[in-house]
Amino acid sequence: MSLQLGDTAPDFTAETTEGKINFYEFLGNSWGVLFSHPADYTPVCTTELGRTASLKKEFEKRNVKVLAVSVDPLDKHFSWRKDIDETQHVTVDFPIIADEEKKVANLYGMMHPNASATATVRSLFIIGPDKKIKLMIVYPASTGRNFNEVLRVIDSLQLTSDFSVATPADWKAGEDVIVVPSISTEDAIKKFPKGVKVVKPYLRYTPQPNLN
Ligand code: BEZ
């Protein structure tokens, strides 16, 4: 059966551009982003890995470790990485897994045979410090992912894991959030001293609780 939200992220050991890595040891107590792309030396993937490298500080700020998966061999990763650095004006220093045997790809359901028999699709998993899968997205080869959205989702996941809130459509860090339905308005008023705006009994907003 394929992986679902809330499942424990499968552990693995793999060769990467940063040496042999055990996934759980690599993550430690951090959050993790594990993402696949179809192949080395492809244009969209070049921009995706470059964009990820350019967001290094944003991932670090959020205590997130990033790991890419590619079914190409290590020597190809090393030479392609030079192109990414050159064309995207970055230094790619997060690990790229050499998953020639598709061990990780199969473990995480990154092969979608009706899309491609040989290449992984663009799967992305966000994994919490408890090693549970918090989010999965799957894009086709032809569409590069929006990494601002990945950061936005991480902000929401981290906030909603700490407070009894949910984030509305198109929410961005700093904007008002929604009080979860399981909390009564009376309790919400006590819990959220910045105030609770009741639009409907089931639709209640409060300022983002972890901001000064
Ligand atoms: C790319 O990464 O550029 C790509 C890969 C497979 C199909 C189309 C685009």
Do residues 44 and 36 lie in contact, with contact meaning Cβ atoms separated by under 8 Å? Answer: no
Number of Cα atoms under 13 Å in the Cβ half of residue 124: 21
Ligand 1 test: best mutation among 40, 51, 69, 142, most atoms within 8 Å of CB?
142
Domain range list for the chain: 13-144, 163-206
Cα of 151 to ligand 1 centre, how many Å? Answer: 23
Q: Is the CB of 27 under 6 A from ligand 1?
A: no
**Nearest one of 165, 171, 117 to 141, comparing CA atoms:** 117
Summarised one tens digit per residue, pLDDT across range 16-42 is: 999 999 999 999 999 999 999 999 999
**φ, ψ of residue 206 in degrees (nearest 5):** -145, 150
Q: Is the CB of 68 under 6 A from ligand 1?
A: no
Residue the block writes with tokens 């424990």: 8
Give me the CATH code for the 13-144 domain, please: 3.40.30.10
Q: Do 13-144 and 163-206 have matching folds?
A: no
Instruction: Say which amino acid occupies 51.
Output: R
Q: Is the CB of 67 under 6 A from ligand 1?
A: no
What is the C-alpha separation between 41 and 175, in angstroms, rounded?
39
Confidence of residue 160 (pLDDT cuts 50, 70, 90): very high
Q: Is the CB of 43 under 6 A from ligand 1?
A: yes
**Active-site positions?**
45
When the pLDDT of each residue in the chain is averaged and rounded to a whole number, the result is: 97
Q: Is the predicted pLDDT of residue 1 greater than 80, yes or no?
A: no
The domain covering 163-206 belongs, at the CATH homologous superfamily level, to: Antioxidant, Horf6; Chain A, domain2 (3.30.1020.10)
Output the pLDDT for position 212.
Answer: 79
**Nearest one of 183, 182, 128 to 153, comparing CA atoms:** 128
Instruction: Say which amino acid occupies 122.
Output: R
Q: Is the CB of 32 under 6 A from ligand 1?
A: no
Q: Is the CB of 45 under 6 A from ligand 1?
A: yes
Ligand 1 test: best mutation among 35, 40, 42, most atoms within 8 Å of CB?
42
Cα of 84 to ligand 1 centre, how many Å? Answer: 15
Output the pLDDT for position 207.
Answer: 98
Do residues 165 and 159 lie in contact, with contact meaning Cβ atoms separated by under 8 Å? Answer: yes
Would you call 157 helix, strand, or coil by DSSP? helix
Cα of 79 to ligand 1 centre, how many Å? Answer: 18
Q: Is the CB of 141 under 6 A from ligand 1?
A: yes
**φ, ψ of residue 82 in degrees (nearest 5):** -60, -40
Summarised one tens digit per residue, pLDDT across range 161-203 is: 999 999 999 999 999 999 999 999 999 999 999 999 999 999 9
**Nearest one of 211, 194, 212, 210 to 162, comparing CA atoms:** 210
What is the C-alpha separation between 73 and 97, in angstroms, rounded?
9
Cα of 95 to ligand 1 centre, how many Å? Answer: 20
Instruction: Say which amino acid occupies 52.
Output: T
